[in-house]
A and B are shown apart, each in its own frame.
Chain A
């Protein structure tokens, strides 16, 4: 298969949102429903399959945390997964402030987390999420960190020392109340 990005007509640097938008646009164009009883329906079907495959390939690639083909961060991602934390940090710090997008903050956060600089890592993950709230990868890292900060553990839920369990009880009661009220109205 040729370059999936080329098939969707986007650059490898495109955000996940842009990928999705490009896919939707093309899918609308080539959807078989638009070509029923049309001499071109076979061709449309073939095009549609191509687009589906390209979209799936990009999503798979991005979900596996693998480097995006040609992304400017692919080298840094490779370094981080190979444990070359300090090299990755030097490269990241060398980037101009204007180049620091959500992915930059996410990767900087990953480097800091591996170094054990847990507070700054938390701030970077937070920045990445607020710049690109739809990104599942950034969100997962940020949520994991928040779980640790709330519970003091990745294994035990519901705050062993913070009184978070009290909050949980409150939410539970609130939910209960809503439900029973709903029932009464019925």
Chain B
């Protein structure tokens, strides 16, 4: 999970931003408390969204208290670190981080590999702890990550097939312990959100993967050679349309949920933050004149 599911900050009011920050900072706190200092570095917008969405669907009002950030003591935030949804998001973050580091170890550059190796050693304990708490989720994630590796090894050219593991992981993550009547909408939202994250990441890595000859489904679907501006422009259009289709599905599924709080912020993320992140990612520099 890579931080694409974010807010577009200037469009949030002060009050909304403070509520968002409350969840973000609480997640950071829980990561530090339960998974060690280094785990704080893995804090991401994506898991903030996960925590926020789960809190939004819970009729129970989360308790909060004003806290200070140990790293920026001048700043206070409304801490809701006691919420079980934040602990859940932190555990999921610990589970996925380890897989992400392994991925980096396999195909990152020299320095990235060294950093990944070090962090992997430290992330082991956190992974075990999270796995103990959520054994089923951990098993599902392992299953889909293995499937992802197999798809990459087979050089799958289908965007849908390549995006499926991430999509399925998110579908399981969002719908975990949900009410039966909400489950289909949450699974759909999770699936399309995961799909969007995977494809956005693939679009983001396109230039790098082209240079290094690494696996990327967009390169394979259009059979791009290095620096072929026509094909890259064509693939940009493909990307944009595929990502848009995911966004539209996410929004539709989201409106079917019973939201008790954070509706304005979550809606803002889905309809403004994510499109902005997508637009930013699609500004590839390979093509001149953009």
Contact = CB atoms under 8 A, between A and B. Distances in A.
Interface of A: 112, 116-120, 122, 145, 147-156, 160-162
Given A112-B160, A116-B167, A154 B241 contact: no
B6 to A, nearest CB: 15
A150 B245 CA distance: 8
Given A153-B271, A161-B278, A117 B160 contact: yes
Contacts of A118: 160, 192, 195, 242, 245-246, 249
A150 B248 CA distance: 10
Nearest to A114: B188
B244 A151 contact: yes
Contact of B249 (A148, A150, A160, A161): A148
**Closest 8 A/B residue pairs (Cβ):** A148-B248, A117-B160, A149-B241, A152-B244, A152-B247, A118-B245, A116-B191, A161-B275
B34 interface: no
Nearest to B190: A116
B145 interface: no
B253 to A, nearest CB: 10
Nearest to A149: B241
18 contacts: A116-B160, A117-B164, A118-B242, A118-B245, A119-B242, A119-B245, A120-B158, A145-B245, A148-B248, A149-B242, A152-B248, A153-B247, A153-B251, A154-B248, A156-B271, A161-B275, A161-B276, A161-B278
A165 to B, nearest CB: 14
Nearest to B275: A161
A148 B195 CA distance: 15
Summarize B's interface: helix, strand, loop or mixed: helix
A73 B91 CA distance: 46
A162 to B, nearest CB: 7
B227 interface: no
Contacts of A116: 160, 167, 188, 191-192, 195, 249
B235 interface: no
A116 B191 CA distance: 7
A154 to B, nearest CB: 5
B251 A155 contact: yes
A141 to B, nearest CB: 13
B279 A149 contact: no
Given A116-B167, A160-B275, A150 B244 contact: yes
Interface string B156-185: 001111001001000000000000000000
Which of B161, B195, B244, B247 counts the most A-chain CB atoms under 10 A from its CB? B244
A69 to B, nearest CB: 31
B240 interface: yes
A117 B188 CA distance: 11
B214 interface: no
A112 to B, nearest CB: 7
Contacts of B164: 117
Interface string B248-274: 110110000000000000000001000
Contacts of B160: 112, 116-120
A79 B196 CA distance: 28
Nearest to B160: A117
Contacts of B167: 116
A120 to B, nearest CB: 5
A151 B160 CA distance: 20
A153 B249 CA distance: 8
A160 B195 CA distance: 20
Contact of A119 (B159, B275, B276): B159
Given A153-B271, A155-B251, 7 more contacts: A116-B160, A116-B249, A118-B192, A119-B242, A149-B244, A160-B271, A160-B275
Given A116-B167, A116-B191, A162-B240, A151 B248 contact: yes
Contacts of A154: 248, 251-252
Contacts of B276: 161
Contacts of A119: 158-160, 242, 245
A125 to B, nearest CB: 12
A154 B41 CA distance: 37
